[in-house]
Structure 1
């Protein structure tokens, strides 16, 4: 029988800082997966006169969100933390609400995703406070980039909802 030992990843962050940064990033990671799946759900189910435009927009946004998840998880591991392990783990940490409705109108989809991206911006800024307090400059820079991406997604969604 083998014994499991904790991986001692070298880092200059203090142990408590690793924990606070990992916790903040794991929350953002769970929210990113929730937002990704909701965006894909709406991509799959959007209908109406702007179907093609919305379908493509949501697919692009979902790909961008999914593209951040590996970088978030790898950053947690790089500083010596552990990250999400299952859908159940995501469900316990996510703050972005699921949408299991049988039908959602296209404009309501865009409005909901607009709000959710703005929530993610808020959560990214909270995480930034935690990493700044830990002196983790590298993670701070990454969070700045992810915040900019979420703000741009929110802007595109808002602009897409406006009348001609």
Structure 2
């Protein structure tokens, strides 16, 4: 691989590193702030996701270093570089958090797929790494959506475009079911 291609791949990976660091902190935040009747199930579902995403961040950082780059994992650089807003839900019902987390995962997966597409021809090793992460991240997303989906396949937060709206819609639908 040329130095130029390696630098381009490292730049793509740096964006994924920021997203993964943000995601594992967001997941831990949710883990600490869920309440309500689904508390224990959601609380226990989130921790393995945190650990897996932390591992992905480490793999991405090590790949950046392997390519000759210098991975950046500082909070200030993450906030400076990210193109998304900070997670906006504090202490809330478990289903409300899952409604918001659904949108977080949609964004992460879309950006991960774009990064996989961009690395496909540049570096098959990095592409393989990203695709492997995508497999598990999409499964985590499915776990979240299973809590939000009706037996007819309708998501309780289906039309939401912000975390707060998604949280409110999911919580309202959950209350209607009780």
Q: TM-score, normalised by structure 1?
A: 0.84
The corresponding residue for 2:132 is 145
SS in 2 for 1:20: helix
Distance 1:160 1:116, change over 3 A: same
Q: Does 1:23 align with 2:5?
A: no
Deviations 1:7-52 (A, max 9, x none): xxxxxx2122112111111101101111111110010010001111
The corresponding residue for 2:23 is 35
The corresponding residue for 1:113 is 101
Q: Work out the number of aligned pairs and report it.
A: 151
The corresponding residue for 2:43 is 55
Aligned residue among 143, 158, 162 for 1:156: 143
- Contact kept, 8 Å, 1:43 with 1:55, in 2: the verdict is yes
Distance 1:126 1:163, change over 3 A: closer
SS in 1 for 2:22: helix
Q: Which stretches of structure 1, 4 residues or more, deviate above 6 A after TM superposition? A: none
- Cα displacement (A) at 1:92: 1.9
In structure 1, the gaps of 5 or more residues are: 1-12
Distance 1:47 1:94, change over 3 A: same
In structure 2, the gaps of 5 or more residues are: 152-178
Q: TM-score, normalised by structure 2?
A: 0.78
SS in 2 for 1:80: coil
Distance 1:149 1:95, change over 3 A: farther
The corresponding residue for 1:99 is 87
- Contact kept, 8 Å, 1:36 with 1:65, in 2: the verdict is yes
- Cα displacement (A) at 1:100: 4.7
* Greater relative CO (CA pairs within 8 A, separation 6+): 1
